[in-house]
Amino acid sequence: MSKIKVGIVGGTGYTGVELLRLLARHPDVQLRAITSRSENGVPVSNMFPSLRGVVDLKFSDPASGILEACDAVFFATPHGVAMAQAPALLDKGVKVIDLGADFRLQDTEVFEKWYKLAHSTPDALKQAVYGLSELNREHIKSARLVGNPGCYPTTMQLGFYPLLKNNLVSANALIADCKSGVSGAGRKAEVGTLFCEAGDTFKAYGVSGHRHTPETLEQLTKMTAQKVNLIFTPHLTPMIRGMHSTLYATLLPEAVAMSNDELQKVFESTYVKEPFVDVMPWGSHPETRSVRGSNMLRMALHRNGDVVIVLVVQDNLVKGAAGQAVQNMNIMFGLEETAGLLGVGLVP
């Protein structure tokens, strides 16, 4: 089979360089273009010397037409960009995967409320498929446009799913206390993410409202007939990559009698065939570093009375962003789902 021709829009951020790292070694991919208006003509490896000898491309002008000649284009851009450019690519038969927020929320009113931006392509949005690979694989197979999930929502959905799907917990009092490495904030020059501001300290942020809440709510609602309510508390932790979500859910009266073994089996059977979800033995404490640089999401269960505690870890830039995007590309193009994604977590 000939290789898939791939383009990237917005390759100067962390999800962009992570896509490059993964795609450069992907056996079925030919990297064709990476665009950046501001860096047009600059070799990618000048900005990221880690790619010297690996990626020979230069940043190119997004207006050059090179993206239209690709089979697949990834948008690693702030919200608003994909929505403006995707329709023309789709018209040319290019498949599009947006790592931003433009195609995650089907409810455009909710989108506009949280992103302060009218949705300019509701038609494209309608055909967009939400790219949580494990839970939406069948739709992704035939998708032409995928809205890749946010990092936090990936952990919350995969962690709560077995409980909600099987109607074991109350959906009305879910708590997700989540901790992210600083790379989640992107590569923008901002005081708050300077080494001396974010290092050796810990804080919550956005406790009164975060854009990943409506995205997660929309998806969790599909999993259950119950009314869903979610308290989501994000925190910033002084590490580069990694995300740890501590999920709390209260067993319904009819499920309280379940043994820990039974609960564990619910999770194991849900994910037994998944190459990128690892359910650890009951009572384990997964570490984020165990998935550093890897597309694996790892979880473990605990219980305190009626409350089930699910600990979930992932690399926010891989399973939480670029890795899952590649996983979705693999699904969309009928490739081996694990192609290019078998890198092992870098420990230590």
Query: Would you please indicate which residues are annotated as catalytic (active-site) residues?
Result: 151
Among 246, 252, 268, 337, binds a copy of itself (CB under 8 A): 246
Which CB, 129 or 308, lies closer to a copy of itself? 308
- Among 110, 117, 311, 76, smallest CA distance to 211 is for 110
Is the Cβ–Cβ distance between 197 and 142 less than 8 Å? no
Say if residues 37 and 61 touch (Cβ distance below 8 Å): yes
CA distance 295 to 343: 8
> Of 117 and 342, which CB lies nearer to a copy of itself in the complex structure?
342
| Interacting span for a copy of itself (CB under 8 A) from 1-9, 80-88, 155-163, 240-248 | 240-248
Pairing of strands 4-9, 72-75: parallel
- Does residue 244 bind a copy of itself (CB under 8 A)? yes
Q: Which residue has the tokens 């709560």?
A: 160
The span of 69-77, 96-104, 126-134, 226-234 binding a copy of itself (CB under 8 A) equals: 226-234
Among 66, 110, 175, 258, binds a copy of itself (CB under 8 A): 175
Query: Site map for a copy of itself, 126-165, x if CB under 8 A?
Result: ----------------------------------------
Strand pairing class (307-314; 243-250) = antiparallel
Collect all residues with Cβ–Cβ distance below 8 Å to 277 and sequence separation of at least 6. 134, 158, 271, 296, 297, 298, 299
Binding flag, residue 273, a copy of itself (CB under 8 A): no
Q: Figure out which of the listed residues 177, 218, 268, 337 binds a copy of itself, where binding follows CB under 8 A.
A: 177
Q: Out of 139, 187, 262, 269, name the contact with a copy of itself by CB under 8 A.
A: 187
118, 194, 256, 272: residue in contact with a copy of itself (rule CB under 8 A): 194
Q: Please state the closest distance from residue 207 (CB atom) to a copy of itself, in A.
A: 4
Shortest Cβ 253–a copy of itself spacing (Å): 15
> Are the C-beta atoms of 17 and 241 separated by less than 8 Å?
no
Cα→Cα distances 325→13, 154, 226, Å: 15, 12, 30
333 binds a copy of itself (CB under 8 A): no
Stretch that binds a copy of itself, among 149-157, 163-171, 278-286, 322-330 (CB under 8 A): 278-286
> Can you tell me the distance from the alpha carbon of 320 to that of 183, in angstroms, rounded to the nearest whole number?
11
Per the CB < 8 A criterion, the answer to whether 252 and 167 are in contact is: yes
Distance of CA 52 to the CA centre of its chain: 27
- As a whole number of angstroms, the distance between CA 79 and CA 89 comes to 17
Per CB under 8 A, does 200 bind a copy of itself?
yes
Q: Of these, 28, 40, 43, 54, which contacts a copy of itself (CB under 8 A)? A: 54
Q: Which helix (H) or strand (E) holds 125?
A: helix 122-127
- The answer to whether the beta carbons of residues 21 and 76 sit under 8 Å apart is no
| Interface with a copy of itself, residue 338, by CB under 8 A | no
Question: Contact between 50 and a copy of itself (CB under 8 A)?
Answer: yes
> Interhelix angle for 212-223 vs 108-115, to 10°?
150
Closest CB 126 distance from a copy of itself, rounded Å: 31
85-124 footprint of a copy of itself as x/- string (CB under 8 A): ----------------------------------------
Per rule CB under 8 A, count of chain residues that contact a copy of itself: 82
Is residue 19 a contact residue for a copy of itself (CB under 8 A)?
Answer: no
